[in-house]
Amino acid sequence: MSVLPFDQRDGFIWMNGNLVAWKDATLHVLSHGLHYASCVFEGERAYGGRIFKSTEHSERFLTSAQLLDFEIPFSAAELDRAKQLVVDKNNLQNCYVRPVAWRGSEMMAVAAQNSTIHVAIAVWDWPSMFDVEQKMKGIRLDIADYRRPDPLTAPCRAKAAGLYMICTISKHRAERRGYADAMMLDWQGRVAECTGANIFFTVNGVIHTPIADCFLDGITRRTVIGLAKKRGIEVIERRIMPGELTGFEECFICGTGAEVTPVSEAGPYKFTPSAISRAMIDDYTAEVRPKQQAA
């Protein structure tokens, strides 16, 4: 199926404090963010025209920039208003929201302390990936070759563009082999996450998930943990070795794009999506939808 390239779409993008026509939201080829990965971003969703946990995303956006040693010239409140303005101006209800900030073109070297910090916000239509029954069939995960880095070697708590290089490579390899995504290990060979989503496992009614110390502690991840605990389901955050996966019953991933998606296999390990996966899908759907739509 043909997909319209993102640079050829219509609508409005918020850029450095102003709404501009989609085609006019451009940057120079010698922007530092392009060459040296001094770029951070967020992935958010709007449901029924309202952005889910917008302020949490804005605050993480600001923190990510600080971890890359630059300051975004807007407050969380200003970013919240700008994001909502873009959703409203583009007349979208269920959509993806992408704030991005990067160093500009004033300096072209590793050091770029005096570069202008640019900020843009774009939105596009993106409904849920699958219906519930389709989701409950589970997706297949490959095992990635690349591993999440030691926290002493990269700003792992930032949602930074450069950290996704190995994710893109791993996702491409997985898709070429017929998988939907890839599960990544950390630098010590322990289960970490997928290329753009956090991962959970269940056994005996308990949820287990890796400690988020070398990868992003996702806002969706924290939401799902809270929803599980609200149901009375115990959630254990711990180190998980790949060999343990043979003892788990269910597996699911979560993220802004994936929402909550069950997994049927991860490499040689098999799972059967069942009651806990279904409960998390239902609870997350109820949580993100405007209350009048969730009824």
> Over the stretch 48-93, which tens digit does the pLDDT of each residue have?
999 999 999 999 999 999 999 999 999 999 999 999 999 999 999 9
Q: Give the confidence band of 289 by pLDDT, cuts at 50, 70, 90.
A: confident
Taking Cα atoms as reference points, which of 171, 102, 106 lies closest to residue 141? Answer: 171
- Which residues are registered as beta bridge partners of 253? 199, 261
Q: How many domains does the chain have?
A: 2
Domain of 88, CATH number, reads 3.30.470.10
How sure is the predictor about 290, in pLDDT bands with cuts at 50, 70 and 90?
confident
Q: Average pLDDT, stretch 240-262? A: 97
Whether pLDDT at 292 is above 60: no
Same domain, 148 and 246: yes
Residues 6+ apart with CB under 8 A from 295: none
pLDDT band at 293 (very low <50, low <70, confident <90, very high): very low
Q: What domain range includes position 116?
A: 6-125
Alpha helices in 75-164 (DSSP H): 76-89, 132-135
Same domain, 44 and 155: no
User: Do 136 and 121 have their domain in common?
Assistant: no
Half-sphere exposure of 149 (CA within 13 A, CB side): 14
In a domain, 59, yes or no: yes
| 1, part of any domain | no
> Average pLDDT in the 191-208 region?
98
> Quick one: 160 and 259 in the same domain?
yes
* CA–CA gap between residue 225 and residue 236 (Å, rounded): 9
DSSP state of 16: T
What residues are labeled active site? 159
Task: Tally the residues of the chain.
Answer: 295
Using an 8 Å Cβ cutoff, are 83 and 94 in contact? no
Instruction: Tell which of 93, 125, 157 closes a domain.
Output: 125
Could you give the 3-state DSSP secondary structure of residue 63? helix
